[in-house]
Amino acid sequence: MDLTVAGAAALDRADELAPFRQRFAIPDARLIYLDGNSLGRLPLDTRARLHALLDEEWADQLIRGWGNGWFEAAERIGAKLAQVVGALPHEVLLADSTSVNLFKLCVAALRAQPGRHVIVTDALNFPSDLYVLQGVLQLLGHPPDALRIVPAADGLSVAPAALAAAIDEHTALVMLSHTAFKSGFVHPLAEITALAHARGALTLWDLSHTVGAVPVELHAAHADLAVGCSYKYLNGGPGAPAFLYVHEDLQARLQNPIQGWIGQLDPFAFEPDYVPQTDLRKFLTGTPPVLSLMAIEPALDLLLEAGLARVRAKSMRQTEYLVALWEQQLQPLGYRLQSPRNPQQRGSHISLGHEHALGIDRALIEELNVLPDFRAPDNLRLGIAPLYNTFSELHAAVQHMRTVVLEQRYLKYQQQRPLVT
């Protein structure tokens, strides 16, 4: 691999997805943004869509807008998102946050299986997910040890066999982050789903770091449940509503524990008793956040236009390229690869460990116009969004990471951990 500046430029020239970068708002082209795995960039079409939504719909139509597509937006956009996660159109909805959706589906899954109460997860899971699982068990009156957290022996990954050993006849749910937020490790979704089913358990996948970056086939794999956010690789905007997926075979068996009027069979009948919708809409609760919901659609259209297969192929080329740069130029300076070596087993970010990771992160941001993120205790995450990140950016970021260590610029930032990293 040609790891020179010229080599990076040649890779960019050969990149068929390169024109998609122009479809995003990039007010400062010098900023090397490597945090699209936390908050994706703003698509230009989203800006136009939101302006129209404000001026032509909210301002002009007022309450009539609800009859003009707002009310069904959660299902309509959910059906589009279904294409990105290999689901049927009626298996996906946009609502609430990932944590709230996780809560709803977890409680529903446990209540549907009275003889089982154990939840199996792993140490790679996102902390919010663990908090939700702990809260669900407490709420339903189960002991804390009903949560089995399978350790990650190497700190980066968990083998299916280790999960298999934890799943038994008491297990109600196997709940995992499909792509781990720190290491980027990707679980084999179909294999683990089959393994859980063989022992009578359901699966619930958090696809937050997967959706829009790594293809999955939820329906074909017979995955039972899934949730995920839309503000990372889906570029839906800060705090954009999350999604939930329920396999069609399971929809009749599950009930939403947060009952509200939007999930009621006939909300505008204003009946005093709750009767749930007969389809996935029963997992809606309150009034949908129309402005942020609508912002997701142009971003989804952009992704579907690029094609997830091409996005994944470029993502793998780019993470490979970054790993090659790391090996040659960063490893000698104390950076450790904290993501799987095999591109098939990782998502679209690379984690590099360093004893001065927090100071390096701050120096890159404050002094060198590179924006990765930091995950405690020692992880620098370099998120690659193939729709707008270039090979030249990756090359330049690595040179800056060398500078920070060679010039010990991290020393200045040792004690500063900002509110959001």
List active site positions. Answer: 126, 206, 231-232, 381
Site string (179-208) toward ligand PLP, x via CB under 6 A: --x------------------------x-x
Single-letter amino acid code for the residue at 331: Q
Out of 110, 189, 242, 380, the only residue in the binding site for ligand PLP (CB under 6 A) is 242
Could you tell me where the DSSP H helices lie in 112-181? 127-139, 160-166
Whose Cβ is closer to ligand PLP: residue 345's or residue 403's? 345
By CB under 6 A, the residues from 203 to 232 that bind ligand PLP are: 206, 208-209, 229
How far apart, in whole angstroms, are the C-alpha atoms of residue 92 and residue 77? 9
Q: What angle do CA 79, 80, 82 make, to 5 degrees?
A: 65
Single-letter amino acid code for the residue at 397: A
Contact between 109 and ligand PLP by CB under 6 A: the answer reads no
**List of long-range contacts for 149-154, beta carbons under 8 Å, 24+ apart:** 149/121, 149/122, 149/123, 149/125, 150/120, 150/121, 150/122, 150/123, 151/122, 151/123, 152/122, 152/123, 152/124, 152/183
Among 39-47, 94-102, 245-253, 271-279, the segment contacting ligand PLP (CB under 6 A): 94-102
In whole angstroms, the minimum distance from the beta carbon of 128 to ligand PLP comes to 4
Whose Cβ is closer to ligand PLP: residue 11's or residue 223's? 223
In whole angstroms, the minimum distance from the beta carbon of 181 to ligand PLP comes to 5
Q: Which DSSP string do the residues of 10-74 spell out, in sequence order? A: HHHHT-TTGGGGGGB--S-TT-EE--TTTSPPPBHHHHHHHHHIIIIIIHHHGGGGGGGTTTTHH
In whole angstroms, the minimum distance from the beta carbon of 222 to ligand PLP comes to 22
In whole angstroms, the minimum distance from the beta carbon of 224 to ligand PLP comes to 18
Contact between 35 and ligand PLP by CB under 6 A: the answer reads no
Whose Cβ is closer to ligand PLP: residue 23's or residue 349's? 349
Contact between 245 and ligand PLP by CB under 6 A: the answer reads no
Whose Cβ is closer to ligand PLP: residue 102's or residue 308's? 102
Whose Cβ is closer to ligand PLP: residue 104's or residue 247's? 104
The residues, any chain, with a CB within 8 Å of residue 419's CB and separated by 6 or more, are none
Contact between 385 and ligand PLP by CB under 6 A: the answer reads no
In whole angstroms, the minimum distance from the beta carbon of 207 to ligand PLP comes to 8
Tell me which residue of 133, 129, 75, 137 sits closest to 98, measured CA to CA: 129
Site string (129-168) toward ligand PLP, x via CB under 6 A: x---------------------------------------
Contact between 97 and ligand PLP by CB under 6 A: the answer reads yes
Tell me how far CA of residue 158 lies from CA of 58, 125, 154, 192, in angstroms.
Answer: 48, 11, 8, 11
In whole angstroms, the minimum distance from the beta carbon of 174 to ligand PLP comes to 16
Out of 23, 82, 99, 283, the only residue in the binding site for ligand PLP (CB under 6 A) is 99
Tell me which residue of 154, 149, 155, 160 sits closest to 190, measured CA to CA: 160
How far apart, in whole angstroms, are the C-alpha atoms of residue 392 and residue 110? 48
Burial of 71 (0-12, 13-18, 19+ CB in 10 A): middle
Contact between 91 and ligand PLP by CB under 6 A: the answer reads no
For residue 267 the two structure tokens come to 């909300």
In whole angstroms, the minimum distance from the beta carbon of 175 to ligand PLP comes to 11
Whose Cβ is closer to ligand PLP: residue 326's or residue 374's? 374
* Cα torsion 21, 25, 27, 28: sign: negative
Single-letter amino acid code for the residue at 76: R
Q: How many residues bind to ligand PLP according to rule CB under 6 A?
A: 13
Residues at the site binding ligand PLP, with contacts judged by CB under 6 A: 97-99, 126, 128-129, 177, 181, 206, 208-209, 229, 242
